[in-house]
Structure 1
Amino acid sequence: MRIVAVVVTFNRRSLLEKLVARLGEDVASGALDRVLVVDNASTDGTGEWLRGLDTSSPSGSDYSTNLRIEHRTLDHNTGGAGGFHEGLKWAIEETDADLVWLMDDDGLPAEGCLERLTEETDLDFWGPLVVDEADPARLVFPIRLPGGTRVVHDVASAAAAAGSRRLDGIVIPFNGVLLTRALVERIGYPRAEYFIWGDDHEYRLRAEAEGARIATVVDATVLHPSVGSLGTPMMFARTTYNHTPSDLKHYCMARNNTLNLLAYRGWVHVLLFWLKTVWFYLFTKPQPARIAMSARAAYAGLRGDFTGHERYLK
């Protein structure tokens, strides 16, 4: 099985350098065929560093030839959605990959992660636990267990829930996940127009709709910086809302979540999401301007306009 890693990066050169070095170990061992890096028009020297890999390495040998590191720099920032669209298309249409290993530049697969993932041979879309690099017993992205409302926040709880060594029916994309060529050829590529927030979720929902076999392997891990709490309690702590101080992220979340819910859950779930948004920014964290922004984002998405987020780019 030929496995190709796809890494999407933007302005995180120091993290990318560590990740490329780690993936280079898997290439050198033969576990990984090559690494494809998609640079989203970074402005921090990432492009120059990547080009330097073509001719030199710390040892003075040809780093990219020996470790098979390939890279492309896009002409503008397309977000994670555009980066993964480009990278997955590159891997499927221009390499002989049987499996594609997708990850952001801020993840770092633990030693043996890929080997453990590839022990699972009956899946289409699967990945590791994503753990806090400062506290590896804690999950960076909590997991809602399939078939209920219980959410686990630590590795021990996830492992206990798994029973065996994996949780079927759930995966956290795009953080070290494996995809089969056959699945990608069935469902296509991530929606580039989403930019950020919701593109990975939509891709998982699309895979589920096509009957993909999905799982999280609980004894494989990717280290990741903490992102803080991903759910702000609201409605007297009966539910949570994914609030972010970033206008860019909120705009994309309001637009993309509306479209995802409409496509895969229906209008009732869309209306409930809008109700939560209004409640949250009226009573939980009063910011009436966010309600207007959410309405503009949702309306734009329903009209097929995916340019509105550009006003919030810096």
Structure 2
Amino acid sequence: MPDQPDVRRIAAVVVTHNRLGLLQRLLERLDQVPGLTEVLVVDNASTDGTGEWLAGLADRDAGDDHRTVPVLGRTLAINSGGAGGFHDGLEWAMERGADLAWLMDDDGLPEAGCLTRLLAEPDLDFWGPLVVDEGDPDRLVFPIRLPGGTRVVHRLADVERAAVDGRIEGIVIPFNGVLVTRDLVERIGLPRAEFFIWGDDHEYRLRAEAAGARIATVVAARVEHPSVGDLGTPMMFGRTTYNHSPSELKAYCMARNNTVNLRDYRGWPHVLLFWLKTVWFYLLTRREPGRIALSARAAYAGLRGDFTGHRRYLR
């Protein structure tokens, strides 16, 4: 018998903030994706005209700008970060009856066939593509720690060699072109909006893992993404890496949210190991003692349940 068409409703959820040019580029690409039902854009209170441009989409679509895939936009009253944006967007997708949500930031660009290759894996709950450097497609933007050990790989070829039946089981890089099923959302809820940025996606994966979700990276599916610089900087004589960022906002949120995630999902020994790495990194690898103090304030706030401190670093 011929293959039956996929009748599931698939909503792409895109979170954007002050990157209208990148958003427009992404929407052009998504308009060519077969099987996609609609695109839901959550604008995090942009000040670059994004909200106004989204508000005008309905008028343009009714005129000469005929889109293959409908685009709906929603502008939030305040910037709630990626965490708040995906919380709102995933909830919106579920309210609109999506069977699958395809989650992505505005700066990623799915390669042709990405969604088709993801949908070819029917037995998963939370799965996604490899995220490759748009300037060097043979390199991963986000390094992957391979299952069953401590090896972290940065090159596409290393992941391809490690794949089993075209997949890396138990690993996914959210929220960069990942699919999540309605069933899983109903079981584990929405991303933690209070995290703002950094670690919200990892927490969602950990929550999915704890719920027994079937998780994987599909090696043949790719999303191109700009380089993020020093993510995964080697330390301790190359034995491990540290996610350093020049941004104080990202550093604050990373220290706070990672401490909370480790406490909740891995236990206090892992929290202590993370803090050993933090002190080592900013004393010996990249000497910035001030970052230790900033990170300590952030972690203490998170452990107390205070998720407001990042606001002082917003620009």
The TM-score, its normalising length taken from structure 2, stands at 0.94
The alpha carbon displacement at 1:67 in A equals 3.0
After TM superposition, list the pairs within 5 Å mapping 1:63-212 onto structure 2.
63=66, 67-92=69-94, 94-212=95-213
Is residue 214 from structure 1 mapped to residue 215 from structure 2 by the alignment?
yes
The alpha carbon displacement at 1:232 in A equals 2.0
The alpha carbon displacement at 1:137 in A equals 1.7
- One-letter code aligned to 1:41: A
Is residue 21 from structure 1 mapped to residue 21 from structure 2 by the alignment?
no
SS in 1 for 2:227: coil
Change (3 A) 1:236 1:154: closer
CA contact 1:280–1:286 (8 Å) conserved in 2: yes
- One-letter code aligned to 2:64: S
The alpha carbon displacement at 1:236 in A equals 2.8
Residue of structure 2 equivalent to 1:270: 271
Which runs of no fewer than 5 residues in structure 2 stay unpaired? 1-7
What is the alpha-carbon distance in structure 1 between the residues aligned to residue 169 and residue 237 of structure 2? 32
CA contact 2:166–2:219 (8 Å) conserved in 1: yes
Tell me which moved more, 16-25 or 177-186. 16-25
Which runs of no fewer than 5 residues in structure 1 stay unpaired? none
Structure 2 residue corresponding to 1:10, chosen from 2, 17, 41: 17
Identity %: 73
What is the alpha-carbon distance in structure 2 between the residues aligned to residue 112 and residue 131 of structure 1? 15
What is the alpha-carbon distance in structure 2 between the residues aligned to residue 21 and residue 75 of structure 1? 26
What is the alpha-carbon distance in structure 2 between the residues aligned to residue 179 and residue 227 of structure 1? 25
The alpha carbon displacement at 1:228 in A equals 2.0
Structure 2 residue corresponding to 1:61, chosen from 64, 72, 87: 64
Change (3 A) 1:290 1:229: closer
Residues 236-263 of structure 1 show CA distances to partners (whole Å, capped at 9, x for unaligned) of 3332211111110000001000000000
CA contact 2:125–2:180 (8 Å) conserved in 1: yes
CA contact 2:230–2:244 (8 Å) conserved in 1: no
What is the alpha-carbon distance in structure 1 between the residues aligned to residue 282 and residue 230 of structure 2? 18
Residues 60-117 of structure 1 show CA distances to partners (whole Å, capped at 9, x for unaligned) of 42546x631101000110000000000001111x211111100000011111111111
What is the alpha-carbon distance in structure 2 between the residues aligned to residue 288 and residue 137 of structure 1? 35
After TM superposition, list the pairs within 5 Å mapping 1:241-256 onto structure 2.
241-256=242-257
Tell me which moved more, 238-247 or 249-258. 238-247
- One-letter code aligned to 1:72: R
What is the alpha-carbon distance in structure 1 between the residues aligned to residue 152 and residue 305 of structure 2? 33
CA RMSD in angstroms comes to: 1.4
Residue of structure 2 equivalent to 1:48: 52
What is the alpha-carbon distance in structure 1 between the residues aligned to residue 63 and residue 16 of structure 2? 25
- One-letter code aligned to 1:205: L
Change (3 A) 1:206 1:118: same
- One-letter code aligned to 2:84: G
What is the alpha-carbon distance in structure 1 between the residues aligned to residue 83 and residue 192 of structure 2? 6
Tell me which moved more, 102-111 or 43-52. 43-52
SS in 1 for 2:262: helix
What is the alpha-carbon distance in structure 1 between the residues aligned to residue 55 and residue 147 of structure 2? 44
Residue of structure 2 equivalent to 1:311: 312
- One-letter code aligned to 1:42: S
CA contact 1:4–1:33 (8 Å) conserved in 2: yes
CA contact 1:53–1:63 (8 Å) conserved in 2: no
SS in 1 for 2:180: strand
SS in 2 for 1:21: helix
Residues 134-185 of structure 1 show CA distances to partners (whole Å, capped at 9, x for unaligned) of 2222211121111111222222221111131111110000000000000000
- One-letter code aligned to 1:81: A
CA contact 1:55–1:63 (8 Å) conserved in 2: no
- One-letter code aligned to 1:79: G
The TM-score, its normalising length taken from structure 1, stands at 0.95
The alpha carbon displacement at 1:278 in A equals 1.6
Structure 2 residue corresponding to 1:38, chosen from 15, 27, 42: 42
CA contact 1:125–1:212 (8 Å) conserved in 2: yes
What is the alpha-carbon distance in structure 1 between the residues aligned to residue 60 and residue 295 of structure 2? 48
